[in-house]
Chain A
Amino acid sequence: MFAQILQQLPQQLLNGLVLGSTYALFALGFTLMFGVLGVINLTYGFYFTTAAFLALYGSKLLALPIWLALPGAALLAGLIAVLLDAILLTPLRRKKAPELSSLMVTLGATLLLYSLMTATFGTEIRRLPPAIISHAAIMLGGVRMNLSQILIVVTTVLIVAALLAVIRFTRFGLSMRSMAENGEAAELMGVNTDAVVRLVSFISGALGGTAGVLIGLNFNAIQPYMGETMMLKGFAVIIIGGLGDIKGALIAGLVIGVLEVLTAGFISSDIKDAVGFILLVATLWFRPVGLFGRAPAKRA
């Protein structure tokens, strides 16, 4: 029994890493949006859904190859995010409306958008055409994987590295960090905050979209409400990782992915989805600012 677990472990870890990568990607966009723009934008899950559907129809109807359908869908999701932010949140920002109103507006919009999606596409669960990528097993030291799993992990690594580098080393990164802290002060330094809002919305939407297309590639999961399910996970990930914390979201996403797969593999797949929330509650008990979040630097 124990030997069997040990034998399966590497395989399960890999599967967990793949799932966790999509959680991490999804949470990154969400936490970036929250961190820099200071709003909990509930439409975020919709970009995940939208990109998956765009990739589905792009590859099915237009017969686009994978390298066009997937990035194209993710980028389009980014553009939709910019558009929705401009319609829903920019007017509130102008009026300096309280945070609760942005929550309400995005909640309303989300419900509307999902109903429209359901009315259009139905609730049937789909996946990207299998022929879009080879699913042949590749054996590597006793661990079985396929091209789509490799693609998911590699894409995540590249995107996270690029994002961290942009935040750390570029002027745009500086403008995002300053806005995350104090929007008015950032403006006084000469930051064009409207432009940063648009760019951050785009990047976040595209990150959510990337997670959506990658999920659609590897799992039988494309349906209108897929974004909602993911949002719940996303909340758990960004709270555990520390709100607005990029590295925290990455690590928490991977950890939850791995724990879910291990739970499903060795305990029961029925309680797999509870793992993230148990971790969430435990984290909040012991460290209310999240595992990696730090309390704001303020002197009393």
Chain B
Amino acid sequence: MSVLKVRGLTLGYNRTDAVKGIDLDVAEGAVVSLIGANGAGKTTTLRGLSGLLKARAGSVLFQGAEMAGQPAYKITRAGVIQVPEGRQVFANMTIEENLRMGAYLVQDKAEIARRRVGVLERFPRLGERLQQLAGLLSGGEQQMLAIGRALMADPKLLLLDEPSMGLAPLFIEEIFAIIRALKVEGRTILLVEQNAQAALEVSDHAYVLESGRIKLQGPATEIASNPEVIAAYLGAA
């Protein structure tokens, strides 16, 4: 069953539409990837889903409820949690405070503590320096923190925007290992990536976005063996 059902979603800036009426489904417990070239509209799509950008047309049903037109904080409250492009950790807050912000909507102290333990088990590196300012972490560590912060919200749908961007190969592997682990635990994830190869490997289903339109979609294995996709996104560049 689809937890997320997007129909005819149109988003844009000023006078131009950057995303032009896309349809997209994410099944419960699935990892779905959205791949495409620079400027295809991937980030725009995620910002539309999380409410940072208002939909110009179309519908975004999350667990049957309409999210289009809702402010971002209400979409967060519904359980759709975005890890934004460029991580956007709170640079002048400590790691501890960043994690606390992730659970901003949670009132129950015991529940916050429980989630914190889970996040620190997953990211021991964060636990070693809880009092350090997030802005001083390396890019890879900041990405871990951004994901850890999102997990503090116990997402029903996790939106990841290029988590591997700008990271060293070792960190990229670690990020994809984390995504695989989250999938095994049953998390539902919509993953935006330029690293198409790695994204398709962890995904069940994939969409290819080109100039704001869905060009192709299907099971990830099928997309990965599609000659057009191989030529455009997977071939030796």
Contact = CB atoms under 8 A, between A and B. Distances in A.
Contacts of B81: 188
Nearest to B150: A188
A182 B89 CA distance: 8
Interface string B87-102: 0111111000100111
Interface string A176-188: 0110011011111
Contact of B91 (A174, A188, A298): A298
B92 A187 contact: no
Contacts of A182: 88, 90-91
B52 A181 contact: no
A190 B135 contact: no
Contact of B104 (A171, A294, A298, A299): A171
Nearest to B91: A297
17 contacts: A178-B93, A182-B91, A185-B90, A188-B50, A189-B76, A189-B101, A189-B105, A190-B76, A191-B73, A191-B104, A192-B73, A193-B73, A297-B91, A298-B91, A298-B135, A299-B135, A299-B137
A194 B52 CA distance: 13
B72 A187 contact: yes
B101 A178 contact: yes
A175 B97 CA distance: 11
B71 A190 contact: no
B32 interface: no
Nearest to B82: A188
Contacts of B50: 188
Interface in A137-179: 171, 174-175, 177-178
Given A178-B90, A191-B73, A299-B137, 17 more contacts: A171-B104, A175-B104, A181-B93, A182-B90, A185-B90, A186-B101, A187-B51, A188-B52, A188-B84, A189-B102, A190-B77, A190-B104, A190-B105, A192-B73, A296-B135, A297-B133, A298-B135
B65 interface: no
A187 B101 CA distance: 11
Contacts of B101: 174, 178, 186, 189
B153 interface: yes
A15 B89 CA distance: 45
Interface in A257-300: 294, 296-299
A296 B104 contact: no
Interface string B49-83: 01110000000000000000001110011000110
A296 B72 contact: no
